């Protein structure tokens, strides 16, 4: 067969022809120049980035016949260089680790390595996909790899180096190959197309490079296929038809629909892709990549440096990113990332994508977190409840009984019940202001509550101790905490020196002066002490009294007439 695919025809034969792997090339060149070549190398990276190619170039440098010693730039014309290029050298063994993975294959390799090269200076073993070797095969290779003959060099290549045993990696010099940047791929494709006398526009070259995902072999393979379909002129439409390539304008159309909140346009776009036979999973990956670009550009003005975008592309993407907030782009990115994972196993990928499209078009209707916080602060400040009190005056006491928002609306019902003097006097006695909160409720800004909050922020476990305390009160420069007898364990824990120091420090911060912790077991003779059981009994009795009061006809009639609520119940000691 006379035709040779582009990936083989334009395979680099010298170090200066390798693109995208400059640090590795420089290291190997320096090692050859300084005669510091290792006996084993491990090349790892994604497919099509030059691992096997660089291994062959290194083999040529070692065995080139143009010099009596290894060279940095092989001639590419001698018998040894030509044989290595055609994989026909007797002294350079290329082994597929996936099909020669057993211990018997490694034993044969060990036997071969003992013999001197047939003609060249070195016997080179290039093992591709080395991670496919069995554990027994790796173990059999260890000794030879650690102390190989002087004339042997091992070159390993793998796409999954994490599967290679550490004992193997530690005996090699490991190089990680990078994905080739998209602009560099597009430039190389344009150069190859020009040498093949094929017209390839910049946009078409970028489409091919974007689809290759950083792999030069994939990019050249796509170009080969495009030439076979389009002939001497490759167009964007031809690429979409032959390769199923999804253009960036299609991806941006989806984001335009999201920006406009147009669910119909987004779903129609999915329908067009499905009818055109496009891979919806690939489309989702393109959406994720575009969302990443928009998010980074929206978040930082310096993000263009980490993206494979030209200046014009970055400017256009930044303009699109300004249509979204950072919060919206975070939501979109998270939704698309989850969708990409679901599409791999979903029996209904199209429906999953349509649901996600409809969901994303609703992003613009979500309130920004900052605005929600501002509204909550306005509510806390009492600005918003005002319109509610402007309605019917009869409904105000119901709200005022539980939420002390305003005093005006509540004063009217109180004035109307003045004939019931005893009830009014009892309610007004402990409540000097009409809208004041019930006295049983501990104010949120009390010193004890502030001390609790500070203790919880310093050590949350101590806060759980305090939940079992019978009482906690501040008496001048003493913080008195008492536990019931059954909770003596928590008392002992709180009394430890480190915990005591935390509690006293929190109390000092809350009060502004030095406070000493006084922790102990409940003393029943202390009239101010109330255990948890007593507190529960008190609350239960309060509920019983409340139930009885609500059953009284007079109380119910009063509540229906004035639309009020029972704020407090007082027991009359006199029968």
What is the per-residue DSSP string for 74-109? --S-SHHHHHHHTT--SSEEEEETTTS-SHHHHHHH
**In a 3-state reduction of DSSP, which class is residue 483?**
strand
Per the CB < 8 A criterion, the answer to whether 19 and 5 are in contact is no
In this prediction, residue 379 carries a pLDDT of 66
CATH code assigned to 180-245: 1.10.8.60
Most confident of 191-200, 233-242, 277-286: 191-200
* Domain assignments of the chain as residue spans, ordered by start: 6-176, 180-245, 249-366, 375-418, 447-530
pLDDT greater at residue 357 or residue 523: 357
- The pTM score is 0.59
In this prediction, residue 378 carries a pLDDT of 67
Q: Exposed/middle/buried for 262, CB within 10 Å: 0-12, 13-18, 19+?
A: middle
pLDDT bin (cut points 50, 70, 90) of residue 172 is: very high
Domains 6-176 and 249-366 agree in fold: no
Dist CA 178 CA 185 (whole Å): 13
In tens, the pLDDT along 527-540 reads 444 554 555 555 56
Dist CA 105 CA 316 (whole Å): 55
- Look up the CATH architecture of domain 447-530: 2-Layer Sandwich (3.30)
Per the CB < 8 A criterion, the answer to whether 492 and 544 are in contact is no
Least confident of 87-96, 141-150, 528-537: 528-537
Q: Which fold has domain 6-176?
A: Rossmann fold (3.40.50)
Q: Which fold has domain 249-366?
A: Zinc Finger, Delta Prime; domain 3 (1.20.272)
Least confident of 78-82, 216-220, 507-511: 507-511
In this prediction, residue 194 carries a pLDDT of 94
Per the CB < 8 A criterion, the answer to whether 311 and 183 are in contact is no
Query: Which positions ≥6 away from 377 have C-beta within 8 Å?
Result: none
In this prediction, residue 45 carries a pLDDT of 94
In this prediction, residue 253 carries a pLDDT of 92
pLDDT bin (cut points 50, 70, 90) of residue 64 is: very high
pLDDT greater at residue 368 or residue 138: 138
In this prediction, residue 5 carries a pLDDT of 92
């Amino acid at each position: 067969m006379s035709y040779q695919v582009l990936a083989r025809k334009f395979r680099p034969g010298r170090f200066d022809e390798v693109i995208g792997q400059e640090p590795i090339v420089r290291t190997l060149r320096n090692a050859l120049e300084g005669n510091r070549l290792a006996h084993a190398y491990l090349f790892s990276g994604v497919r099509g980035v030059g691992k096997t190619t660089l291994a062959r170039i290194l083999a040529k440098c070692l065995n080139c016949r143009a010099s009596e010693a290894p060279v940095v730039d092989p001639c590419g014309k001698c018998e040894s260089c030509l044989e290595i290029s055609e994989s026909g050298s007797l002294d350079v063994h290329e082994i597929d680790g996936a099909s020669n993975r057993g211990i018997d294959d490694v034993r044969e390799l060990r036997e071969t390595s003992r013999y001197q090269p047939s003609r060249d200076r070195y016997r080179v073993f290039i093992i591709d996909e080395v991670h496919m070797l069995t554990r027994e095969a790796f173990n059999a290779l260890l000794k030879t790899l650690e102390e190989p003959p002087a004339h042997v060099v091992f070159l390993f290549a793998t796409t999954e180096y994490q599967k290679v045993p550490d004992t193997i990696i530690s005996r090699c010099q490991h190089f990680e190959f990078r994905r080739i940047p998209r602009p560099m791929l597009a430039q190389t494709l344009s150069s190859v197309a020009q040498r093949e006398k094929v017209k390839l526009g910049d946009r078409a070259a970028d489409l091919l490079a974007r689809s290759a995902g950083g792999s030069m072999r994939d990019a050249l393979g796509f170009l080969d296929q495009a030439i076979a379909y389009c002939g001497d002129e490759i167009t964007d439409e031809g690429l979409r038809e032959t390769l199923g390539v999804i253009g960036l304008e299609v991806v941006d159309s989806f984001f335009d629909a999201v920006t406009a909140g147009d669910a119909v346009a987004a779903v129609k776009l999915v329908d067009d892709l499905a009818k055109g036979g496009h891979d919806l999973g690939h489309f989702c990956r393109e959406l994720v990549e575009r969302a990443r670009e928009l998010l980074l550009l929206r978040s930082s003005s310096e993000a263009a440096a980490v993206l494979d975008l030209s200046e014009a592309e970055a400017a256009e993407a930044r303009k699109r990113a300004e249509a979204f907030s950072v919060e919206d782009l975070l939501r979109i990115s998270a939704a698309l990332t989850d969708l990409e994972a679901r599409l791999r196993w979903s029996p209904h990928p199209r429906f999953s994508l349509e649901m996600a499209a409809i969901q994303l078009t609703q992003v613009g209707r979500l309130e920004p977190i900052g605005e929600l916080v501002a509204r909550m602060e306005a509510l806390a400040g009492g600005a918003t409840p005002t319109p509610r009190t402007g309605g019917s005056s009869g409904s105000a006491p119901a709200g005022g009984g539980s939420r002390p928002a305003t005093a005006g609306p509540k004063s009217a019902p109180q004035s109307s019940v003045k004939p019931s003097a005893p009830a009014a006097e009892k309610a007004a006695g402990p409540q000097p202001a009409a809208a004041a909160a019930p006295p049983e409720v501990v104010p949120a800004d009390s010193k004890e509550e502030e001390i609790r909050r500070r203790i919880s922020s310093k050590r949350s476990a101590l806060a759980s101790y305090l939940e079992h305390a019978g009482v906690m009160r501040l008496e001048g420069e003493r913080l008195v905490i008492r536990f019931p007898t059954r909770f003596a364990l928590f008392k002992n824990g709180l009394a430890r020196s480190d915990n005591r120091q935390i509690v006293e420090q929190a109390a000092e911060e809350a009060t502004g002066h030095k406070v000493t912790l006084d922790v102990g077991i409940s003393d029943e003779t202390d009239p101010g002490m109330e255990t948890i059981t007593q507190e529960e009994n008190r609350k239960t009795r309060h509920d019983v009294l409340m139930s009885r009061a609500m059953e009284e006809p007079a109380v119910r009639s009063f509540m229906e007439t004035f639309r009020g609520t029972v704020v407090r119940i007082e027991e009359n000691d006199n029968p």
